[in-house]
């Protein structure tokens, strides 16, 4: 945590942190994080941060630069691609995407990612095969202003139905994200 705070407070570059969802830790089967040494765990944590503030728009530029070093050092780098505004990260072992911006105000950016970033420098290059991706669900959603099948023919009702629109979904932050947000929230208050 001191390394993160020093990077944010004592440099002009700021810091960018990638926070995996709780489900990302639950999904880890191989390799196990419990077998890592303390130095490897520290490197793994630092691998989830970059020694510079990057807004979402900045990742488009990073996709043309090749591997980008993390706070863990130059042998711990990430590759970025921008696919129509969706930022994808590749650590060699794991490929994921930025699923949301938790906090993005210079000098600190915190982005939620779908998977734990596993560096080749710790886990080697013997990468297990990826399971086949599930087929995409058909997009059969009605238009936002079209009445649903339930409301057709019912007339008006005083009872409001919950919206399933993605713009009304509530973000669910897991325990790890809440802990990180609490730590950075306290830090931001004193900054």
Cβ atoms of 109 and 16 within 8 Å: the answer is: yes
Would you say residue 90 lies in a domain?
Answer: yes
**Is 150 a member of any domain?**
no
Query: In this structure, what token pair is assigned to residue 80?
Result: 């970025």
Per-residue burial over 52-89, b = 16 or more CB atoms within 10 Å of its CB, e = otherwise = bbbeeeebeebeeeebbebbbeeebbbbbbbeeeebbb
pLDDT of residue 162: 46
**Tokens matching residue 4:** 């993160």
Q: Per-residue pLDDT tens for 70-95? A: 998 888 889 999 888 899 999 887 89
pLDDT tens digits along 141-158: 555 555 555 544 544 444
* Domain ranges, residue 48: 2-126+170-190
Q: Which tokens sit at 188?
A: 């931001």
Q: Would you say residue 107 lies in a domain?
A: yes
Residue 175 pLDDT class (50, 70, 90 cuts): very low
Q: What is the CATH number of the domain that holds 27?
A: 2.30.180.10
User: What is the structure's pLDDT at 157?
Assistant: 45
The 10s digit of each residue's pLDDT in 105-145 is 999 999 999 999 888 778 765 544 445 556 666 656 555 55
Q: Does residue 149 fall inside a structural domain?
A: no
Would residue 154 count as lying in a domain? no
What are the pLDDT digits (tens) for 37-77?
Answer: 899 899 999 999 999 999 988 888 888 888 998 998 888 88
Question: Would residue 57 count as lying in a domain?
Answer: yes
With beta carbons less than 8 A apart as the criterion, state whether 48 and 20 touch.
Answer: yes
What is the 8-class DSSP label of residue 92? Answer: B
Q: What is the pLDDT of residue 142?
A: 53
């Amino acid at each position: 945590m001191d390394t993160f705070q020093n990077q944010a407070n004592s440099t002009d570059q700021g810091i960018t942190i990638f926070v995996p969802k709780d489900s990302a830790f639950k999904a880890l089967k191989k390799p196990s994080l419990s077998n890592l040494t303390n130095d490897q765990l520290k490197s793994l944590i630092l691998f989830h941060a970059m020694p510079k503030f990057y807004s979402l728009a900045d990742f488009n530029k990073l996709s043309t630069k090749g591997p980008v070093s993390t706070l863990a050092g130059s042998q711990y780098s990430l590759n970025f691609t921008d696919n129509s505004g969706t930022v994808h990260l590749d650590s060699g072992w794991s490929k994921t995407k930025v699923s949301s911006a938790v906090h993005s105000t210079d000098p600190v950016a915190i982005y939620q990612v779908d998977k734990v970033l596993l560096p080749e420098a710790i886990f080697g290059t013997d990468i297990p095969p990826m399971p086949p991706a599930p087929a995409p669900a058909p997009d059969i959603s009605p238009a936002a202003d079209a009445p649903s099948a339930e409301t057709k023919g019912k007339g008006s009702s005083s009872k409001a139905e919950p919206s399933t629109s993605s713009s009304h979904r509530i973000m669910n932050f897991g325990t790890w994200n809440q802990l990180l947000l609490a730590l950075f929230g306290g830090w931001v208050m004193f900054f």
